[in-house]
Amino acid sequence: MRPVYMVSGGVSKFEKARPDATFQKMVKEAFDYTMGDVPRLKPSMIDGSVGSYFSDHFTRQLMAGIMATDYLGLCPKPNKRIEGGGATGGLCFQGAWEAVASGRMDVCVAFGFETMSHVQTWKGNEFIALASDVNFDYPVGGFYSGYYAMMVNRHMHEFGTTVEQLAMVSVKNHMNAYANPYAQKRKKLTIQDVRNSTMVAYPLTLLDICVMSDGAAVCILASEEMARKLTDRPVKITGVGTGTDMMRMADRPHGDVILAPNEKKSDYKNLKYPGVHSFRAGRSAGLQAYRMAGITDPKKEIDFVELHDAYTSSEIQTYEDLALCKYGEGGKFVEEGHPFMPQIDYGLKLKKKGTIPVNPSGGLIACGHPVGATGLMQAVFAFWQIQGTIKKHYGFPDLQLKKANRGLIHSHAGTGTYVTVSIMERGW
Amino acid sequence: MAKIFNKAKKAPRYNPAAKLEEVMTGTTVFNVPFPKDLDALKDMSPIVIKHPYYVEYLHSYGQDSPFFAGLANRKILGTRCPKCDYTYATPRMHCTHCGEETNWVEIPQEGRVHTFTTCYFGSEEFLKETPFHLVLVEFDGVDTLLLARLIGVDGPEDIRIGMKIRAKFRRNSQLKPTDVYFVPVA
Ligand SMILES: [Zn+2]
C-alpha cells in the first residue's frame, strides 16, 4: 500500500428538498466546487471514481451511480457503487482510499448523494427501516428512532446517562452549525428546548434526531506524487478502519470489551459488552484506524472528531467506542464540556470546555443526513478544518479550530452494523 | 401523526411555527405555462409529479419458517447450537460463533424487559399504530434477545428495565413476528 492524500472537497448545501435539481445535478454542484478548489487538476488527470447512495427506493432509479458518473463526464473511466446503510459515505471514502493505496488509480473521485425529499418523512422512515431484518425486526418496530431509543434506555440504565446530557449534544451541534452555511438546521437551543420538543421515541425528541435531506458531497483522493502537484495543502489519510456487527441488535452478544491501548481489563470488570448499549463495530473500526495511524491515546493525539450523530444518544455512545472516554463515561464527557468548541458560547456552564471538539461542523443533527453524502461531507469538513480554510469555504471564521492538525471521521450504519473510521492529518 | 408527550405548559399557547399537515394529494394539471423566450426556461420552477409505486412480494421466511409456525401454535421457538450450546431467542439456523447448524428449541414464555421505548412516530406502515411500545425481551437460559411489542401499559413511565412480562399470542395468526406480544406480569 502507498500513502493516500485528500486534495479537495466540496458539498452541495444540504436542504430538506431540492426540487430544482436531480441527483446528478446536485453531485455536479459539489464536484464543480471541488474541482474549482484545485485548478491544477484537469479532468484528464482523474483515473476513475467511486459513487455512493444508500437506498434505491429513495431515487426510484437503479444504477444511479453511472448516471452521476456520466453527468460528471467521468465515463469511460472506472466506477463502482458502494453501499452500506448509514455508513455508505464513509465506506465510499475508504473505497477511493483503496483505489489509490493499491496503485490502481493516482487520482480518484469519491461522490455520494441522497434525495430523500421524494417521499414523506414516514415513508422515508419505512425505507430506512427496511435496513433492519425484515423477518424479525421491521414487522415489529419498523422504525430506527425506536431502535436507537431502546439502545439509549439501556445505556441510561447501565451507566446513569441522563436526557439532559443527550440534549447537550443537540445544543452543541445545532450551535456549531450556526456558522456553517452548508448546514440544514442552524439553531440556538437550550436543553429545555430539546426536552420540550415533540417526543418521537422515548426518550428521544425531535431535536435529538437528525433530519432527512437532499444533498451531495465529493472528495478527491490522490497519490503522494499527484497530491504534491495539485495542492500546497494536501491532507494525508493515515488510518482507516471498518467494523461490522450483527444486523439484529437482539443478537448482540455479551462478552469482554475490546480494549483500547489506553485502557485496562480492570476498567470493565462487570460490563457485558457490547450489549445493546455500545457499538462493537465502532470500537473495532476505531482501533484499526488508531493502530494504522500510530495513535495510542486518541483523546490526546486527535485534535477534533466529526462523528455520525444520527442521534444525540449515538454521539455519546460513540465517544466511548472511540475511547475518547471510558465506556459509561460518555454522558459525563459531554456534561463536562470536552466535545464543545472552545471559542463558541453555548449558554452553558462547561468546566472542561473544548478539550476535543466533536462535530465542529454541526454533525448530522444540524447539517442533515442525505445518507450517501454524509460520510463524505464529514471528510470535506475535516479536510477544510485541517487545511485551515474554514473561513474561505464557510464565509465565516467562527468554526475554525486553532489546532486542527489531526482529525477523525466516523460513519455509522444500522444500529451499529457497519462503522468506518478514518484518520486525516496535515500533510504539508 | 406524532403526538405531544410532554405535559401541558403553563405559558400562553401561541405557536408561530404551527404548520398544516403535509399530504401527498394535489391538483391534476392539464396545461403547463411556457415562455416564448427559451432563455427564460432556466428560471422555470421545477415540475413535481406524484408517482405511486406498489409491489406485492412473495416473501419466503426460508429457514426461519418454523418460528412462524411455532407462533401460530402458541410457542416461541429459538435455536440452540449443539456444539457450543449458545441459545438464540431470535432464531438463526447456523451458529454465528462456530458455524454449526442449530436445532430448534422452545423459549420460555415469561421473560424480563431488557430495554424498551415508546414510539410516537414511525414508518408509514405502522403510523396508525402509534404510540406503541417496543421491548427487547431477555429470557432465563437464553443468550440473545427478542424484539417484541409490549401492551397493557400507557406510556414509558409504566415500563421498567427488568420488569417481568409474559407472552400472549394472537388467536388468528398473521404469520408475522407480532403474532407474539408481551404483557406485564401482574
Ligand atoms: Zn456454536
Confidence of residue A347 (pLDDT cuts 50, 70, 90): very high
What does the pLDDT read at residue B10?
Answer: 67
Distance CA B106, CA A424 (A): 51
Per the prediction, chain A carries an average pLDDT of 97
Q: Quote the ligand 1 centre to B81 CA distance (angstroms).
A: 5
The interface predicted TM-score (ipTM) is 0.96
What does the pLDDT read at residue A346?
Answer: 97
Q: Count of A–B CB contacts within 8 Å?
A: 141
Partner residue facing B117 (CB), from A157, A202, A246: A202
Could you report the per-residue pLDDT of A74-123, keeping only the tens digit for each?
999 999 999 999 999 999 999 999 999 999 999 999 999 999 999 999 99
pLDDT at residue A272 greater than cutoff 80: yes
Partner residue facing B134 (CB), from A60, A140, A195: A140
Distance from CA of A122 to the nearest CA of B (A): 5
Q: Is the peptide bond before A43 cis (omega within 30 degrees of 0)?
A: no
| Ranges of residues in chain B whose predicted pLDDT is under 50 | 1
Which chain B residues in 83-112 lie under 8 Å from chain A, judged by CB atoms?
A: 88-90, 92, 96
Q: Is the peptide bond before B131 cis (omega within 30 degrees of 0)?
A: yes
Distance from CA of B33 to the nearest CA of A (A): 17
> A123 and B155: CB-CB below 8 Å?
no
What does the pLDDT read at residue B53?
Answer: 86
> A143 and B122: CB-CB below 8 Å?
yes
Q: How many CB atoms lie within 10 A of CB A61?
A: 14
- Chain B residues closer than 8 Å to A272 by CB: none
What does the pLDDT read at residue B5?
Answer: 54
Mean pLDDT of A313-337: 98
| B148: nearest CA partner in chain A | A140
Q: Quote the ligand 1 centre to B85 CA distance (angstroms).
A: 6
Query: For B61-81, b where at least 16 C-beta lie within 10 A, e where not — what string?
Result: beebeebbebbeeebbbbbbb
Backbone angles phi, psi at A270, to 5 degrees: -110, 10
| Paired strand residues for A356 | none
Cell 476505531 found at = A286
> B145 and A276: CB-CB below 8 Å?
yes
3-state secondary structure chain A: CCCEEEEEEEECCCECCCCCCCHHHHHHHHHHHHHHHCCCCCHHHCCEEEEECCCHHHHCCCCHHHHHHHHCCCCCCCEEEECECECHHHHHHHHHHHHHHCCCCCEEEEEEEEEHHHCCHHHHHHHHHCCCCCCCCCCCCCCHHHHHHHHHHHHHHHHCCCHHHHHHHHHHHHHHHCCCCCCCCCCCCCHHHHHHCCEEECCEEHHHECCCCEEEEEEEEEEHHHHHHHCCCCEEEEEEEEEECCCCHHHCCEECCCCCCCCCHHHHCCCCEECCCCCHHHHHHHHHHHHHHCCCCHHHHCCEEECCCCEHHHHHHHHHHCCCCCCCCHHHHHHHCCCCCCCCCCCCCCCCCCCCCECCCCHHHHHCCCHHHHHHHHHHHHHHHHHCCHHHHHCCCCCCCCCCCEEEEEEEECCCCEEEEEEEEECC
Asked if B121 is an interface residue toward chain A (Cβ–Cβ < 8 A), one would say yes
Could you report the per-residue pLDDT of B113-144, keeping only the tens digit for each?
999 999 999 999 999 999 999 999 999 999 99
- Chain A residues closer than 8 Å to B146 by CB: 250
What does the pLDDT read at residue A252?
Answer: 96
Per cent of chain A over pLDDT 70 is 100
Could you report the per-residue pLDDT of A360-393, keeping only the tens digit for each?
999 999 999 999 999 999 999 999 999 999 999 9
> A123 and B177: CB-CB below 8 Å?
no
Distance from CA of A116 to the nearest CA of B (A): 14
Please give the span between the terminal C-alpha atoms of chain A, in angstroms, as a whole number: 20
Could you report the per-residue pLDDT of A194-204, keeping only the tens digit for each?
999 999 999 99
What global pTM score does this model have? 0.95
Could you report the per-residue pLDDT of A131-144, keeping only the tens digit for each?
999 999 999 998 99
- Chain A residues closer than 8 Å to B177 by CB: 135-136, 139-140
What does the pLDDT read at residue A328?
Answer: 98
